[in-house]
A = this chain, B = another copy of it.
Amino acid sequence: MSISSRFAVGVHILTLIEFNKDGVSSSEYLAESVNTNPALIRKIIGMLKKAELVEVHPGIAGANLAKKLSEITLLDVYKAVNVVPENELFSVHENPNPKCLVGRNIQETIIPILSIAQLAMEKVLGSVTIEDIFEAIVEKEKQK
């Protein structure tokens, strides 16, 4: 199964807040660009807020970045929006038979390997910042 699009939407939101830094990024404004519902945006914004990536206040329209663009990585967003349980990208079957040689050793054998695979993926996300996304969009737009 795929990792929830909450992650991609989170990246979209943060990037758009920056492009709109001189305007007001309300949940309705952001929802229009993502093409979804303001309530969904508020839910994701709430997660980004808890992770201290954005600042937003009840009753006051608009969200703002809480950090510099270059200090927010895709990994930060990925962790903020909870798309993958900590260290459990791969699920492993519970209760293999301890009476079987394989059953009693399989978990401790494969979990470290799966963890390395997961970390390799997350390392890539950690190497890309929202600033990189911002700049890439500026470049792509120039070519149009």
Contact = CB atoms under 8 A, between A and B. Distances in A.
Given A105-B141, A109-B133, A125-B117, A8 B83 contact: no
Interface string A24-41: 000000001111100000
Interface of A: 1-5, 7-9, 11-12, 15-16, 19, 32-36, 74, 83-85, 88-97, 100-103, 105-106, 108-110, 113-114, 116-118, 120-125, 128, 133, 136-137, 140-141
A142 to B, nearest CB: 11
A27 B43 CA distance: 45
A117 B7 CA distance: 14
A136 to B, nearest CB: 5
A11 B110 CA distance: 9
Contacts of A105: 136-137, 140-141
B101 A32 contact: no
B102 A137 contact: yes
A90 B140 contact: no
A2 B118 CA distance: 11
B1 A102 contact: no
Contacts of A100: 16, 32-33
B93 A35 contact: yes
